[in-house]
Amino acid sequence: MIWLALVPWLALTAHTLVNALLLRRVPREKSVTERVAVLLPLRDEAARVTPCLEALLAQRGVPHLEIYVLDDGSTDGTADVVTSVAGSRVTLLTGKPLPAGWLGKPHACAQLADAARAGDVLVFVDADVVLAPDAVAGAVTALRSAGVTLLSPYPKIVGAGRLVQPLLQWSWLTFLPLRAMERSPRPSLAAAGGQWLVTDRAGYERAGGHAAVRDDVLEDIGLARAVKRAGGRIALADGSRTAVCCMYDTWRELADGYGKSLWASFGSPSGAACVVVLLLLLYALPLVAAAVFALVGWTPGVAVALTAYVIGVLGRVIAAAATGGRTWPDPLAQPVSIVLFAGLAARSFARRRRGQLTWRGRTV
């Protein structure tokens, strides 16, 4: 009977496998005839925008493609880099001063969407994303084939944070029923990643655009919920074969980035505590329990605890294989990953209480 204790781990890993098999993917070598506007908001991105821009300029399969770039008050010469790399091949906008009640990224995205009046499809891309030459055409194809208003293709994540960053894709593959999310009209059942978003223009406007999430730290998830409230549908997709994203170069950047927004991911401190405790119990405790059981000589307990750990690792392997991540040996460190995540969540709430949350020189 003791083996029945493994039911939660088995159920969650099975759910990860089902989601991985059902996960939509951005197709390759497609072409589209719709008018597409790629929108790139920038703030102090001089050091990293060049690969992103060069990739956007190399897009194929989209004959009616326009690229809009907005320099949002950069102080590092970002606009000069854009002009040097792209010249007149992109429309470079100068961001307006940030109005009261707005956060920086929603305001930048709203200005870009307003400028791109001719686009039937809007493609929002961050400066740390490098797209394959057929990525935009493939993403628009995936949007239309899924029949949704908003598609969130997750790029392959590289850079700092090998122990923490993969938890993002793993979390929604493990805990979020993807097909039910697509069908459900509930705004609370939503997920999205702001690094790369593809949306039907008419549906975006019905949802209120980024003005509807003007003060939302997690504007990507907020936009997905706004789309649902307006009667639209959303979907996630694996974009790892067509996009690479280096979100953070150092652990310090990662900690600051997570600190800025992680507090907003749970709804409340009590909600965060429940989620973090659950993750620790499921994915960090088994190895500790195995060690304790070994010390007291309870062999069946050791076997069950180690099996729970292995099943948890298997879930990480499945998620990594489905989203272009490292399938070995990183998943073995799943308990460490969860403990680090718990620390980042606690740090985020602490910094918010002290009013220390900033990003790119702006208070959050």
Q: What's the number of domains the chain is made of? A: 2
Rounded distance between C-alpha atoms, residue 312 and residue 307, angstroms: 9
Domain identity same for 189 and 220: yes
Residue 198 maps to a domain: yes
Of 200, 224, 249, the one marking the end of a domain is 249
pLDDT tens-digit profile, the chain (364 residues): 799 999 999 999 999 999 999 999 999 999 999 999 999 999 999 999 999 999 999 999 999 999 999 999 999 999 999 999 999 999 999 999 999 999 999 999 999 999 998 899 999 999 999 999 999 999 999 999 999 999 999 999 999 899 999 999 999 999 999 999 999 999 999 999 999 999 999 999 999 999 999 999 999 999 999 999 999 999 999 999 999 999 999 999 999 999 999 999 987 889 999 999 999 999 999 999 999 999 999 999 999 999 999 999 999 999 999 999 999 999 999 999 999 999 999 999 999 998 888 877 777 7
Residue 255 maps to a domain: no
Domain identity same for 236 and 324: no
Of 196, 225, 249, the one marking the end of a domain is 249
Contacts 24+ apart (CB under 8 A), 334-337: 334/283, 334/309, 335/283, 335/284, 335/286, 335/287, 335/309, 336/163, 337/163, 337/164, 337/166, 337/167, 337/283
pLDDT at 37 (0 to 100): 98
- Helix (H), strand (E), coil (C) string for the chain: CHHHHHHHHHHHHHHHHHHHHHCEECCCCCCCCCCEEEEEEECCCCCCHHHHHHHHHCCCCCCCEEEEEEECCCCCCHHHHHHHHHHHHCEEEECCCCCCCCCHHHHHHHHHHHHCCCCCEEEEECCCEEECCCHHHHHHHHHHHHCCCEEEEECEEECCCCCCCCHHHHHHHHHCCHHHHHHCCCCCCCCCCCCEEEEEHHHHHHCCHHHHHCCCCCHHHHHHHHHHHCCCCEEEEECCCCEEEECCCCHHHHHHHHHHHHHHHCCCHHHHHHHHHHHHHHHHHHHHHHHHHHHHCCHHHHHHHHHHHHHHHHHHHHHHHHHCCCCCCHHHHHHHHHHHHHHHHHHHHHHHHCCCCEECCEEC
pLDDT at 171 (0 to 100): 97
Angle at 327 between CA 261 and CA 126, to 5 degrees: 35
Domain identity same for 150 and 209: yes
Domain identity same for 54 and 172: yes
Report yes or no: 163 and 330 within 8 Å, Cβ to Cβ: yes
Look up the domain containing 296 and give its range. 2-18+264-363
Distances (CA, A) of 83 to 79, 89, 93, 109, 210: 6, 9, 11, 20, 26
Residue 158 maps to a domain: yes
Domain identity same for 171 and 66: yes
pTM given for the model: 0.96
Domain identity same for 86 and 125: yes
Domain identity same for 155 and 88: yes
pLDDT at 59 (0 to 100): 98
Residue 256 maps to a domain: no
Domain identity same for 177 and 232: yes
Residue 82 maps to a domain: yes
Domain identity same for 9 and 48: no
Domain identity same for 229 and 332: no
Residue 177 maps to a domain: yes
Of 249, 282, 308, the one marking the end of a domain is 249
pLDDT at 266 (0 to 100): 85
Rounded distance between C-alpha atoms, residue 140 and residue 150, angstroms: 10
Nearest CA among 344, 326, 319 for reference residue 254: 344
Angle at 193 between CA 187 and CA 199, to 5 degrees: 70
Rounded distance between C-alpha atoms, residue 179 and residue 176, angstroms: 9
Rounded distance between C-alpha atoms, residue 72 and residue 133, angstroms: 26
Report yes or no: 209 and 113 within 8 Å, Cβ to Cβ: yes
Domain identity same for 109 and 231: yes
pLDDT at 359 (0 to 100): 72
Contacts (Cβ under 8 Å, ≥6 apart) of 113: 39, 122, 204, 209, 210
Domain identity same for 199 and 282: no
Residue written as token pair 């997570």: 258
Residue 257 maps to a domain: no
The two structure tokens encoding residue 180? 């039910």
CATH code of 122's domain: 3.90.550.10
Distances (CA, A) of 218 to 199, 213, 225, 258: 17, 9, 11, 11
pLDDT at 91 (0 to 100): 98
Pairing label, strands 243-246, 91-94: unpaired
Residue 259 maps to a domain: no
The two structure tokens encoding residue 100? 């009261």
CA 258 to chain centre: 12
CA 204 to chain centre: 19
